[in-house]
Structure formats: structure tokens, C-alpha cells
């Protein structure tokens, strides 16, 4: 089992706002979260349903997540996100992962 903490945020965009939400999540990651201590990786996944957007990130520890969430910039960022949709969070440790190899 990995010691990194995985944070999964599943958002449901307001009608017509899926792409705006995805862009806001990517911008937040690029300009804020990725620069925080303990940030290891992050992905934004746009659902094919026209409404869901998922943000998956890995962090060194739950304490690192708590630290970035206590930053005043996080509250401002969340106001923007909540104007575009609603979400729920799952935080835990990865128990299994597979990465495919590339064959020549």
C-alpha cells in the first residue's frame, strides 16, 4: 500500500458549466495546488456525461492537504468552484495501482 494520500474530488457541474469547471480546476492545480508542499501529482478528468468532472491528486500526507486547505487562497478558490458546481471528496491510501508498460 502506498504511503501517499490520494484525494479524489467528484464534481457535478451546473448545466453548461462542465468545461468551465474543468478549466477552473486545472488552473487551480497549475497555479496553486501544485506549488504546495507535499503535492505529488494531480489530474483533471472530464466525464463523457456532460456534467461530471473529477480531480484526482496525490499528496505526501494528510497534513499537507490540511495545510493547503487552511491557506486563505483556498477559500477564494472554492467560491469559484462552487459557482460552477457541487462536489464530494474521498481521501485515502491507494491499495492497488497498475501502470502499463510501453513496448517497442
Q: Cell digits for 38?
A: 507535499
| Range 24-30 contact pairs with CB under 8 angstroms and sequence separation of 24 or more | 24/80, 24/81, 24/84, 25/53, 25/55, 25/81, 28/77, 28/81, 29/55, 29/57
Taken in order of first residue, the domains within the chain and their CATH numbers are 5-92 (3.30.70.100)
DSSP-derived letter for residue 32 is T
pTM of the model: 0.87
CA distance 26 to 85: 15
pLDDT value of residue 3: 83
Reading the chain (104 residues) residue by residue, the pLDDT tens digits are 568 999 999 999 999 999 999 999 999 999 998 999 999 999 999 999 999 999 999 999 999 999 999 999 999 999 999 999 999 999 999 888 878 765 55
pLDDT value of residue 103: 53
Amino acid at each position: 500500500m502506498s504511503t501517499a494520500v490520494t484525494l479524489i474530488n467528484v464534481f457535478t457541474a451546473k448545466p453548461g458549466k462542465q468545461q468551465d469547471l474543468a478549466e477552473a480546476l486545472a488552473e487551480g492545480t497549475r497555479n496553486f495546488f501544485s506549488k504546495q508542499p507535499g503535492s505529488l501529482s494531480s489530474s483533471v478528468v472530464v466525464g463523457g456525461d456532460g456534467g461530471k468532472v473529477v480531480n484526482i491528486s496525490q499528496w505526501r500526507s494528510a497534513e499537507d492537504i490540511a495545510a493547503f486547505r487552511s491557506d486563505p487562497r483556498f477559500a477564494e478558490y472554492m467560491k469559484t468552484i462552487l459557482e460552477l458546481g457541487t462536489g464530494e471528496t474521498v481521501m485515502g491510501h491507494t491499495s492497488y495501482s497498475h501502470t502499463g508498460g510501453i513496448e517497442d
